[in-house]
Amino acid sequence: MISDEFVQILKQHHVVLCPTLQVGDNYYKVFAQQYQISDADKKLANPEALNSLFDLKNISDTALINSYKKRGEAALKRFAKEDSNMAINLKKLTDAGVTIATGTDAGNIGTQHASSYFTELQLMQNAGMSIPQILQASTINGAKALGKENFFGSIEKGKLANMVLINTNPFETLYNWQQIDIIINKGKVIKPSTLTQ
């Protein structure tokens, strides 16, 4: 568990913390052959990258594969406590007013580009963050993490017009964040149906 002193140091230095709650588990889920494809994966992940997570089943060296599987299963048991600690720490940081940004470390084994974002949001909510806090973590706080809060991250005159418009209430459920109607990128309006994966 993190100490109160650590929390105060983060606040004093205006640190933006990106917790990436899922990345460790995802490695071991793949090695243990326990990775479960999410609805977001089915909709958003690159199919080739997603399918590669199951390549261990096709390797003929069963001793090697069994070794990976056993190590993955053991690590998942160890990480169960760490996952709980990460959630408790995130709640403590959020309650103390530390700036939290959303991120996933996508590209690591088992952490898919695009779809992992929605898994991360759910884990943040499970840790006790409210939907408004998660929205802030995903917008202006992400810009702060890059030192670009004067250029994007909120809707203000003079900032880049980069945003998504959804046709449901974003504060009802995180699932609504996937209901994107229009994308605006550098002021250009894009319909999601025109994009290819």
pLDDT in tens, 94-130: 999 999 999 999 999 999 998 999 999 999 999 999 9
- Buried/exposed 136-163: b ≥16 CB within 10 Å, e otherwise: bbbbbbbbbbeeebeebbeeeeebeebe
Band (196; pLDDT cuts 50, 70, 90): low
How crowded is residue 54: how many other Cβ atoms within 10 Å of its Cβ?
12
Helix (H, G, I), strand (E, B) or coil at 35: coil
CB of 115 closer than 8 Å to CB of 44? yes
Per-residue confidence (pLDDT) for residue 193, from 0 to 100: 86
Per-residue confidence (pLDDT) for residue 186, from 0 to 100: 84
In the block, which residue shows the tokens 């600690």?
85
How crowded is residue 115: how many other Cβ atoms within 10 Å of its Cβ?
23
Indicate if the pLDDT at residue 140 is higher than 90: yes
Band (57; pLDDT cuts 50, 70, 90): confident
Tokens of 195: 């994009």
pTM, two decimal places = 0.89
Give helix then strand counts, H and E, for the chain. 8, 5
Q: What is the mean pLDDT of residues 25-46?
A: 91
**Which amino acid is located at 19 in the chain?**
P
Q: What is the mean pLDDT of residues 25-38?
A: 92
Indicate if the pLDDT at residue 59 is higher than 60: yes
